Structure 1
Amino acid sequence: MISAFFHFVAQRIRSQFGLVACLWLGVTLAVALAASIPVFVTAVQLRVLRNELLSLNTAIGRQGSANYLPFALQFSFATTNENSLSHSAYRALDAFMRERIEPRTMLPIVETATFAQTPPWRMFALPGSPTAEQYEGERVLALPTVDAMSNFSRHVIIEEGEPLPDDGALVAAAGEATDAPVPVLISRAFAERYGAQAGDTFLLSMTQTRAGSDAFGGQAQETVEVQVPVRIAGVWLPRDPREDYWGLSPDTFKDSLIVTPKDFDARIAPLLNTSVRAARWQYILDVSKLSADSVEPFTARARQLQREVFRENRDVILVAALLDALDRYLATSRELLLLLVIFSAPVFAIVFYFVVLVAGMVVRQQESEITTLRSRGASISYILGLYLAQSLVIGVAALTVGIPLGYGLASVMAGTLTFLQFGPPQPVEFSLLNADGRFAGLPQSFRFALIAAGFSLLGVIAPAVGAARSNVVSQHADRGRNTRRPLWQRMYLDVLLLIPALYGYYQLRGQGSIALPGAGGAATADPLSDPVRFLLPVLLITALGLLAVRLFPLLMGLLAKATERVAPTPVVLAFRELARSPKDIVGPLVLLIFTMGIAVYGASIAKTLDEHLKTTTLLRVGADLRLIETGESSKVTLAPGELAQGKKISDPNEPEYWTFLPPQGHLDIPGVTAYARAAQMPAQAREFGIFSFKQVIMAIDRRAFQDVAAKAYRDELSSQSFGALMNALATSRDSALVDRNFLARSNLNIGDSLTLLVDPGRGNTPITYTIRGGFDYFPAITTGKDDPVAFVTNIDYTFEKLGKDVPYDVLLSLQPGVSGHEVAQAATEKEYIVKDYLDAQAAIRDAQSQPARQGLFGVLTAGFLAATLLTAIGFVLYALVSFRRRSIELGVLRTIGLSEGQMAAYLILTQAALVLLGALAGSLLGALAGTLFIPFLQVGGALVNQVPPFIVRVAWGDLIVMYAAVAAALGVALAGTLLLLRRLKVFEAIKLGMVT
């Protein structure tokens, strides 16, 4: 019985293999997209985390850097001398760390580094030794601590002398004490400061109090002096100060005497009452074994170990920097995951609707079979069981292919540069085991995939629920009611959805955000993590799309009325068919409008954000490359110690002058096509009778600047073109361009004089200019609300009034593909003094590699391509399936006298009108939603620059791909329909209609 049931299921799948394959494709796309989101998030965030943990501060080196964070669990003990550990207490604590903590770090340990430090000792030259002859008297030479560090010799270079034996464990050393000096290592800084060298011997001394008795036999404290002779075995330098071993900077030990843990335990610590004032246990972990799914369990384990250590000794703490970084990773991963799920919601809706549409086609193709089974005694549960088994087969096949496809999609998304542009795919990780080798449970990607498959399969089964209840009578009755409107039209769902969409837009326009209960500060929230701002336009597209579908038959009816007396018969028939069969056209029309609208809106978001990034970056930099240069100053500055060598410093009252290399020398650098000077200086302008601060003047080479900075200016951002502004600046040598906001506040007009106090670095110089124009935004000057008011002047006139040239930036135009870094290096090699540089293209690439931006553009691209594919497939299926369903009607039309050519024209017009009007309506709705809602994505947030304002750009160029796909689908549909028409046998179609 069971085998017969599944055999019947297999036969049904084979009989409708094409439609079932399309169902499988839709479910597979849903699974792949769902699986790709968590995989992408974990891949890019883990990459960011590892870069943060493993990055080295190349600018200042490891030494003295507080920003370097080794991937290690670091337990630190540090307290005052009164609370220092005794020798026995330290040994017990160290044993606890080795036996209870070290084996349970979860990730593999690369190296264990321990450190223990005594209180400071007084250091003397050892009496009677050759060293004592070098120092006069019995004075204290230094106050070093004695530090024991495991594996120290592996990580240092011995400049002089010999290394200590490598001893990484604290062991009992009873009986090993001798009177020989303890070998120690000193740093180069210690050696230079105190003149010590290998072979020198010293005496360490410290005062201790011990329990004793007084003259009467009572208890008393006696003071004793403990002494340890030491010998300088060698002078050390760190082999690589950026190694993870140096959880504390090597400079921390510059005044320490380094001994082996064995000597520390046997010959140093036993002499002291409280022998350890600071200690550290550092477990350097293998970061390559850290997977995305193991981060949360690892942090939980680390905090559990922290609690256990705290119970053992309250003064031992876990250094929180690593856990803080992991917590930031978890928080940003959750935020990014939520963001991408929200932005993927429309794509999932498209896929789900496609699945429901195709499932409906499958069920309608099998209506006769269902009614036959019902008439022969099959129960509703049996029919539903058939579709459930069929759905499970589709689901298993979709999961089998969709999950690996999702990992591939995540790899491509991680290399996304911008919309429809990809770099090299980035590696993603897959593992079912956690860091300690045990089964970690289903990855998040699998769980997302199962949820997507479940929802998609509900869409597969849903159409079968109603069909399972039908019989022969209800089936023929349903065919006779083909003009009945869909349920959502009878419930006016389109109007109901339009109300919240319009209300949301009203609130956004009034206050920049949606006022949600309890959501204080929503107006300043990041728009790309605010779901309402993105889902509202989707809601608007859906509502207006459904409204357009409602009005479509009315429009077709009007066209049929208008053309019935003048148009050929196929035209009238086509319009009447579209007007009288709303139930048949709703599915493909909604799919066309919704997918086209979402695609246009998503592509417009991508294009607007992309162009805005380029605009803001070029506006900030001012050109392709901006070299921040300086010149040779007449002022003499001395390095530390040079004053003591007799060198003279410049008189502070003397004026400062600068000399510069000729700027045209930049043109000799390969790849540089043009240059312009731009000098920025603080300035003060007389405003409302006082001098106002927070203002800046930028003096430029007008002609050269126009050539170099033209690409950074957007005419649509200002009331004047860039050429007009440069012409205004050329009116006279004292011309000035002024920020329009300043003009409005100060009641100044074009042609008025403006006096500025210009500060070139040492005192203010008044310079009078004539206002020749105003600007809203200007290249190389940031113009946000908190930025200084800006003035633009001629550089030669400004330098002339200052009486000297002052340092300036050099703006360069580069040939495509030229590296700004290499140009800056070449300028340095030509002896230009380049303090820093701003590379526009490098800044754009850095911004494009942000995880949130990569994910957003990856999802938009994936959604766009999925919508294109599903729209094309859905329409082809609709055309072919509808022809088979209407073969009886077509046979009747053929028998009453329509020629084959008229039939072909009728079918072509029907499908072409549906596609063209659906695509047009969807495109217009997407453009409308973009125009209305995209500007609100700039309100708040860090991913989108606030200045200048958005210029909404509808991505008509990118939509050529989708229009081409729809046109190709229309062509395939028409070709298939005409082929079926040629093969149609009228008598068979009519006879079939009589039988059914």
Structure 2
Amino acid sequence: MSLFFMILRKMLQNKWLVSTLFLGTLMTVGLVSTIPIYSEGILSRMLVKDLEAFQNETNAYPGAHLTKLSFQNESTKKRQERIVKLNEFMKETEKNGFGIPVKNLVVELQTASLQVIPKGIDADSIDRKQITSVKSVSQFEDHIVLVDGKMPAEEPVNGVYEVLVNNKIMSNLDVVLGTELQLFNTKGKVVAEVKPVGMFEKKQVDDPYFRSPQLENYDLSFVVPERTFERYFMVNDEIKVSSAWWYFVLDYSRMELRNLGDFLSTSEKIKEEAISATSKFQVDSSVPIEEKIQEYFNRSKRLSNFMWSLNVPVLIMLGFYMFMVSNLIVDRQKNEIAVIRSRGASRLQIMASYGVEAAILCSIAWAVGPFLGLLLTKMLGASNGFLEFVQRSSLPLYINAQSYQFGALAAITVFLMILTPVFFATRVSIVGHKQGQARIKKLPFWHKMYLDVLLLGISIYGYYAFKKRLAEMKNLGLSFNDLQIDPSQFVVPALFIVGGGLLILRLYPLILRIIYRAGSKIWTPGWYATLIQVGRSSNQYQFLMIFFVITIATGVFSAGAARTINNNTEERILYSGGSDIVIKSEWPSNKPVVVSSPGAAGPSQPSSSNGDAPTLKVIQYHEPPFEPYMKLPGVEDIAKVFVKEEATFQVGDSQGSAVLMGIDTDDFGRTAWFQNLLLRNPLNEHLNLIASDSRAVIISRTLADQKKVKVGDTIWVGWEGVDQQPFIVYSIVDYFPTFNPNPQNKDKEIPMLIVGHLSRIQLQLGLEPYQIWLKMRLDSTTAELYDAIKLAKLDIINIHNTREELVKAKNDPFLMALNGMLTLGFLSSIFITFVGFLLYWVLSLRGRALQNGVMRALGLSLRQLIGMLAIEQLLTSGVAVMIGIVIGNVTGRMFVPNFQIAFNPSLLVPPFRVVFESVDFMRLYIVIGIMLSIGLAILGYMLSRTRIHQALKLGED
């Protein structure tokens, strides 16, 4: 215990150093803890969103869990016992299972099939037998409304059971309410008499209580109260219960990654219990929720690996920080360690005392770190780009067991890193320590081990491996569901940054000597003193400078990577969409009902000479009014765009099929989205070129190359059932809005495109449905547009909303993790670097108090001393910032292009484009400038507080 208190006193004596060491440890643990917290939070939200989309698309409730028992040869008593036993288990599961709230537990019991005949009618006189059954459903009366009649009594009335029915069964039986019916079993014996007294329908149309949304399971059944079924039908040997359902209605909006394990284990227990209860067991799997859950477990692992890779540069920087601070502490105590060693203390004892100190710091950081990680994750979820934040609905975030496991791993790593300098310090005796103080500092270990060359070698190998993989992928047709980013795409650049920084710092003393000699005759005393100070002690600045290099270079690379990936994602969506909104409307026509694709032009039949009317020759479309679309709110520009996928063409002896687009050039140019960098000349110049001639067309480069077509050639265009008409090629383009010139797989032909005037196509080829492209004002909302469409009662088949696609892409968990972790990592790096910067220079100024006091005594003013400090900052921190900028830009130019692997380069349109925008770097440099300015101001203030007599008195001591 006394040893423990002694260690605490020692920590208090070095409270500033210990505090900064603890801060680094806490940041490391907190940053690592964000990985499982964020993975769980973002995937939980994505799971709920996917389940909501599943419900909208299929009209099936995704939070359903259905268990069905079917009985065959069991006795009535045995069936009853099994139902009661399983029912008790299900009710207990409702309270304690699944891990999410249960809205309803619906218990449905049903008899075997029975023949139904109105009372008083001879069974032999009926030609068609009507089959039905009797069932009970728990909580049924709470979820229905009576259309006619009344609720049935629980007890038989004059031996007749009152039942509820729906409209379908009444129509099938051709009876009215109040008609008494007899039920016959398979032996032809009357087993019960029933009387429909009430007709029901669902209280709410979208009520998930009903496992069949259209109530098909009630079309052949009479519904009796639960008590009636239990007392009279379940115990009747002549009827027998054939099936039992337990239908859980779960609140899937509360489903999170953390409780999916409970859901799966509970589902498995229900299966085991049901199997033990009967010889035949069935689980309805029409909603593949278990498959989705397993898919999200796999996505969680991939997202976790991805976030680890994003954290690599920051963790490297934190490792340098921890090693630097630990080194500073040990350097200040090397004399004490050497004295203790000379007096008989073993290396193990010294290591143990420092180990206890490190264990205290790491334990506290491990306990508190996940809470810091939770706060950092909230920032991560609000990121919309590098150093960009938006107001976004909060993620369901919790501190989980994995966050403590990851935190423990980080704390153990930090613990070992703290003890590393202590281990080397305990090897030196008191004599060796004094000899070391008198000698010139040796080269850092990374220069001795050529760590810079090794890291650069590994990173350059990785660079060429990416290049080779990229070349191979351009020959493959692959399809990705998520943004596929190889984790090593962030690890390798981080190694290049560290290796490049260390290599330049190896040359840094030589650069200082060149600067010193170049101006040896013109330097002022301040410059002389600073150059000598920095030149002779350049090794002691290495840690601080590599700090800055890693931070700045990582920030520059991160800004370029995030901007490039975000821009390419957005451009891909905008290009494929064509415009903000694309509407396909219903066109009245004489198309036969048998044609399955409404609005699509089916193949027309050749005309018949006999003039028979029943066979349709050509489908005639009637263009609906266009004006209502022009009056929709928020519309800035609007265009008609005709698209025919399988148009035919002929040029000379060559023929083929292509996509035919018909446009109004002026409207199309204002409405369509297009990146003019894709063409040598802006798109509008090509549109203006064909505007003056209705016969003019634009063709794709793929068509020109494949069919040897050039500008000025005549091309005949039509489609099946439509005679080809002549057009003249005015322009050839590589890209055009929505057109993808890349084959979707190896076996598919290269796509080709022809763009002509809509008016000529409609006049000479045929009038067929066109798309309506809308360019929306920036301040408009999708909700306003949809409400206006509904109010105008526009007959619309489909709406493609590019804005919704962009929002969906921004909410992709991998893209959010990319933006969030890069931003969070950089801000964490800046904060830690700022702390390390202040710590280093505060200790440096304290160590040079005598030197500064002597200079003041020799006549240097405070302004000159601060000027010397500024020069020293310029030669160290300033140079490190410049090195970081250069290395960051080189790293970005080398490695960011490889991120096109994430988008499948063989199918990517527009082509991948590396984007470096000045606004990103301005944010970056502003943050760094503020940090350095604050630090320099603090150091200048400390320097101004130095008293000459105190410094000289210190020297005398």
Q: TM-score, normalised by structure 2?
A: 0.87
The one of 138, 144, 155 aligned to 2:132? 144
Q: CA deviation at 1:368?
A: 4.7
Q: CA deviation at 1:123?
A: 2.1
Quote the residue 1:856 is aligned against: 818
- Report Cα offsets for 1:769-788 as digits up to 9, x if no partner: 22222223322444543284
- Report Cα offsets for 1:178-208 as digits up to 9, x if no partner: 9723322222222234433221122222333
CA distance in structure 1 between the partners assigned to 2:948 and 2:906 by the alignment: 63
Q: Which amino acid aligns with 2:159?
A: A
Alignment of 1:50-129 (within 5 A): 50-53=48-51, 57-58=55-56, 65=59, 67-72=60-65, 74-78=66-70, 83=72, 86-100=75-89, 102-104=91-93, 106-107=97-98, 110-127=103-120
Report which stretch shifted further, 959-968 or 864-873.
959-968
Q: Which amino acid aligns with 2:436?
A: D
Quote the residue 1:435 is aligned against: none
The one of 830, 835, 840 aligned to 1:878? 840
Alignment of 1:397-546 (within 5 A): 397-399=364-366, 401-419=368-386, 420-424=388-392, 426-430=394-398, 443-470=401-428, 472-512=430-470, 528=484, 530-546=486-502
The one of 244, 258, 281 aligned to 1:316? 281
CA distance in structure 1 between the partners assigned to 2:854 and 2:434 by the alignment: 18
Contact 1:291 1:429 in 2 (8 A): no
Cα gap change, 1:323 to 1:704, in 2 (>3 Å): closer
1:359 aligns with 2:320: no
Alignment of 1:1-16 (within 5 A): 2-3=1-2, 5-16=3-14
Quote the residue 2:605 is aligned against: none
Cα gap change, 1:194 to 1:178, in 2 (>3 Å): closer
Q: CA deviation at 1:548?
A: 1.7
Quote the residue 1:214 is aligned against: none
Contact 2:133 2:221 in 1 (8 A): yes
CA distance in structure 1 between the partners assigned to 2:886 and 2:826 by the alignment: 16
- Report Cα offsets for 1:108-140 as digits up to 9, x if no partner: 654332223344332222116xxx9xx995344
Cα gap change, 1:316 to 1:378, in 2 (>3 Å): same
Quote the residue 2:258 is aligned against: 293
Q: CA deviation at 1:486?
A: 0.7
Q: CA deviation at 1:912?
A: 1.0
Cα gap change, 1:52 to 1:452, in 2 (>3 Å): same
CA distance in structure 1 between the partners assigned to 2:912 and 2:170 by the alignment: 62
Quote the residue 1:163 is aligned against: 151
CA distance in structure 1 between the partners assigned to 2:590 and 2:697 by the alignment: 30
Q: CA deviation at 1:10?
A: 4.1
Quote the residue 2:164 is aligned against: 185
CA distance in structure 1 between the partners assigned to 2:438 and 2:34 by the alignment: 46
CA distance in structure 2 between the partners assigned to 1:942 and 1:155 by the alignment: 50
Quote the residue 2:176 is aligned against: 197
Q: CA deviation at 1:949?
A: 2.5
- Report Cα offsets for 1:746-796 as digits up to 9, x if no partner: 21112222222246xxx3341322222222332244454328432222222
SS in 2 for 1:791: strand
CA distance in structure 1 between the partners assigned to 2:585 and 2:233 by the alignment: 56
CA distance in structure 2 between the partners assigned to 1:734 and 1:140 by the alignment: 68
Report which stretch shifted further, 357-366 or 914-923.
357-366
Contact 1:681 1:697 in 2 (8 A): yes
Q: CA deviation at 1:836?
A: 2.5
- Report Cα offsets for 1:5-30 as digits up to 9, x if no partner: 45544444444333333223222222
Quote the residue 1:614 is aligned against: 570
Alignment of 1:346-385 (within 5 A): 346-371=313-338, 380-381=347-348, 383-385=350-352
Cα gap change, 1:161 to 1:25, in 2 (>3 Å): same
Contact 1:699 1:798 in 2 (8 A): yes
Cα gap change, 1:525 to 1:548, in 2 (>3 Å): farther
Q: Which amino acid aligns with 1:243?
A: D
Report which stretch shifted further, 880-889 or 721-730.
880-889
Alignment of 1:511-590 (within 5 A): 511-512=469-470, 528=484, 530-590=486-546
CA distance in structure 2 between the partners assigned to 1:87 and 1:688 by the alignment: 83
CA distance in structure 2 between the partners assigned to 1:332 and 1:952 by the alignment: 28
Contact 1:185 1:236 in 2 (8 A): yes
Cα gap change, 1:341 to 1:319, in 2 (>3 Å): farther
Cα gap change, 1:783 to 1:12, in 2 (>3 Å): farther
Q: Which amino acid aligns with 2:69?
A: F
Quote the residue 2:757 is aligned against: 794
Q: Which amino acid aligns with 1:159?
A: V
1:749 aligns with 2:738: no
Q: Which amino acid aligns with 1:462?
A: T
SS in 2 for 1:957: helix
Quote the residue 1:685 is aligned against: 649
Contact 1:684 1:758 in 2 (8 A): yes
Quote the residue 2:623 is aligned against: 659
Quote the residue 1:218 is aligned against: none
CA distance in structure 2 between the partners assigned to 1:274 and 1:193 by the alignment: 22
CA distance in structure 2 between the partners assigned to 1:288 and 1:944 by the alignment: 38
CA distance in structure 2 between the partners assigned to 1:654 and 1:962 by the alignment: 64
1:840 aligns with 2:798: no
Q: CA deviation at 1:177?
A: 8.5
1:669 aligns with 2:652: no
Quote the residue 1:603 is aligned against: 559
Q: CA deviation at 1:404?
A: 2.2
Q: Which amino acid aligns with 2:396?
A: V
The one of 645, 658, 671 aligned to 1:708? 671
Q: CA deviation at 1:424?
A: 3.8
Alignment of 1:891-910 (within 5 A): 903-910=865-872
Contact 1:87 1:274 in 2 (8 A): no
Quote the residue 1:438 is aligned against: none
SS in 2 for 1:40: helix
**Percent sequence identity over aligned pairs:** 22
Contact 2:114 2:131 in 1 (8 A): yes
SS in 2 for 1:76: strand
Q: CA deviation at 1:487?
A: 0.7
Cα gap change, 1:888 to 1:688, in 2 (>3 Å): farther
Cα gap change, 1:962 to 1:477, in 2 (>3 Å): farther
CA distance in structure 2 between the partners assigned to 1:181 and 1:812 by the alignment: 65
Cα gap change, 1:940 to 1:673, in 2 (>3 Å): closer
CA distance in structure 2 between the partners assigned to 1:803 and 1:668 by the alignment: 27
1:628 aligns with 2:584: yes
CA distance in structure 1 between the partners assigned to 2:472 and 2:406 by the alignment: 29
Q: CA deviation at 1:55?
A: 6.3
CA distance in structure 1 between the partners assigned to 2:27 and 2:690 by the alignment: 58
CA distance in structure 2 between the partners assigned to 1:690 and 1:535 by the alignment: 52
The runs of 5 or more residues in structure 2 that have no matched partner are: 597-612, 745-749
- Report Cα offsets for 1:650-669 as digits up to 9, x if no partner: 97235513233244x54433
Q: CA deviation at 1:708?
A: 2.0
CA distance in structure 2 between the partners assigned to 1:885 and 1:84 by the alignment: 94
Quote the residue 2:199 is aligned against: 235
CA distance in structure 2 between the partners assigned to 1:234 and 1:524 by the alignment: 54
CA distance in structure 2 between the partners assigned to 1:345 and 1:688 by the alignment: 60
1:735 aligns with 2:730: no
CA distance in structure 1 between the partners assigned to 2:244 and 2:179 by the alignment: 28
1:345 aligns with 2:312: yes
The runs of 5 or more residues in structure 1 that have no matched partner are: 167-175, 209-223, 432-441, 641-648
Q: Which amino acid aligns with 1:817?
A: D
- Report Cα offsets for 1:865-887 as digits up to 9, x if no partner: 11222222322322222233344
SS in 2 for 1:244: coil
CA distance in structure 1 between the partners assigned to 2:217 and 2:354 by the alignment: 72
Q: CA deviation at 1:490?
A: 0.5
